[in-house]
């Protein structure tokens, strides 16, 4: 009965969102760690060996969680770095240029619209591209144990 209740709790936590489930897993890891430390201090040689093995497993799980967090932060940093400055595409030569200038430096064509309009549109497009890239990277990270990311990721 208790096992069924525990499995139901895990399924509910998993369905409510990954963050709640990860928090629950960290709490379980902490309790395992404290329990094995207590066992290591107050037990016979056999149980001390079991406690050391359990501590090793807990340490590896905690290291994996930390590595996942570092990888996620690195992806976010790369995305932010790549999408830092908005740019505009010339309608004649398709060069990527600063939206605030009036003429394309490559082909000397006058750019359409005011600099303010171009900057607003370039920022909106940049934000949309950034969100799409972040979603693609996070989705790819979920499906691979060792993330390999296309392009900026």
Contact between residue 106 and residue 90 where contact means Cβ atoms under 8 Å apart: yes
Q: In this predicted model, what pLDDT tens digit does every residue of 54-73 receive, in sequence order?
A: 777 777 877 888 888 888 78
Residue where a domain terminates, one of 73, 100, 119 = 73
DSSP label at residue 136: H
Residues facing residue 97 across a β-bridge: 88
Shared domain for 126 and 146, answered yes or no, is yes
Residues 13 and 46 in one domain: yes
Return the biggest CA–CA distance within the chain.
84
How far are the Cα atoms of 57, 102, 137, 144 from residue 141, in angstroms, in the given order? 23, 41, 6, 5
pLDDT of residue 149: 46
DSSP state of 109: P
Across 2-25, average pLDDT: 65
Report residue 147's pLDDT band, with 50, 70 and 90 as the boundaries: very low
Residue 139, CB half-sphere, CA atoms under 13 Å: how many? 7
pTM of the predicted protein model: 0.39
Q: Please check whether residue 78 lies inside any domain of the structure.
A: no
Instruction: Note the helical H segments in 42-109.
Output: 45-82
Domain membership of residue 124 as a residue range: 83-153
Do 87 and 68 lie in one domain? The reply is: no
pLDDT tens digits along 96-129: 777 777 888 888 778 777 888 888 888 888 888 8
Domain match, 69 and 87 both: no
Q: How many domains does the chain have?
A: 2
């Amino acid at each position: 009965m208790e096992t069924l209740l525990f499995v139901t709790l895990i399924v509910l936590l998993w369905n409510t969102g990954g963050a709640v489930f990860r928090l629950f897993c960290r709490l379980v890891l902490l309790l395992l760690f404290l329990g094995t430390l207590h066992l290591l201090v107050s037990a016979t040689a056999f149980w001390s060996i079991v406690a050391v093995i359990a501590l090793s497993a807990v340490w590896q799980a905690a290291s994996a969680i930390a590595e996942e967090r570092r990888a996620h932060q690195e992806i976010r940093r790369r995305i932010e770095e790549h999408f830092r400055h908005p740019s505009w595409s010339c309608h004649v030569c398709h060069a990527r240029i600063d939206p605030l200038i009036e003429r394309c430096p490559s082909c000397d064509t006058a750019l359409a619209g005011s600099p303010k309009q171009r900057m607003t549109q370039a920022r909106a497009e940049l934000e949309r591209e950034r969100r799409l890239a972040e979603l693609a990277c996070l989705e790819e990270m979920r499906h691979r144990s060792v993330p390999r990311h296309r392009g900026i990721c």
